[in-house]
Amino acid sequence: MTRILKLSLGLSVILFGSFSLGFGAAAENSFKLGVVDTQRVFENFTKAQEANEILKTAQDRLTNQLKGIQQEIDTMEERLTKQKLFLDTPETETLQTDIRLKRQELQRELEIGQESLLAKREELLAPLTQEIEELLQQIGESEGYSLILEKRLVTLYVDAKYDLTERVVKLLNDSYETEKVKDAQQSATPPETATGKEGEKNN
């Protein structure tokens, strides 16, 4: 969830209009405030949940891969410990080299795997951050909000009527469900063939 929190920092403060006049002047102009818990939005956004499942599956695969390599290293080290008294020096050195190379392989696979996971995380979650930000901007502009703040970072107490979190989650999930239904309908509709078009012309 730390990564999601980092991504949500970009949504922490969305400002509409000038805030330089202060709260007193803003109140005279119908100052309207809203707050959003972006971490909770991510946790309850279906699209984000699906993205996290993809990342978790990839993480589990990497963990299992690294465990396999580590088990090979453990087996080789155990063999060396048990047999080094009975092996000639060249054989011992060969086994030690094999262990060193296997450790290098483990480190290399760990670094490559972590880089791949970070890249995939950015690929999956960055668009969701943008989608949430655009929705907040849309709400702010269309409903006349002067300021929308990140609830967890800047507030100690807020009246529930100013909390937009659940509403944002619902709008995001409703939009995603509509998107999935539309995609399913398009997939179920057979493409129009060239023969079909020609038949229509002849008729």
Give the range of the structural domain holding residue 47, as residue numbers without chain letter: 2-187
For tokens 């805030």, the residue is 19
Q: What does the pLDDT look like over 63-122, one tens digit per residue?
A: 999 999 999 999 999 988 888 787 788 888 889 999 999 999 999 999 999 999 999 999
* Tally of domains in the chain: 1
Structure tokens at 88: 């000639």
Segments of the chain scoring below 50 in pLDDT: 1, 5, 7-10, 12-28, 194
Q: What are phi and psi of 149, to 5 degrees?
A: -110, 155
Is 200 domain-assigned? no
Residue 199, domain member (yes or no): no
The answer as to whether 18 is a domain residue is yes
Quote the pTM value: 0.71
Query: Nearest-CA neighbor of 76 among 113, 40, 45, 101?
Result: 101
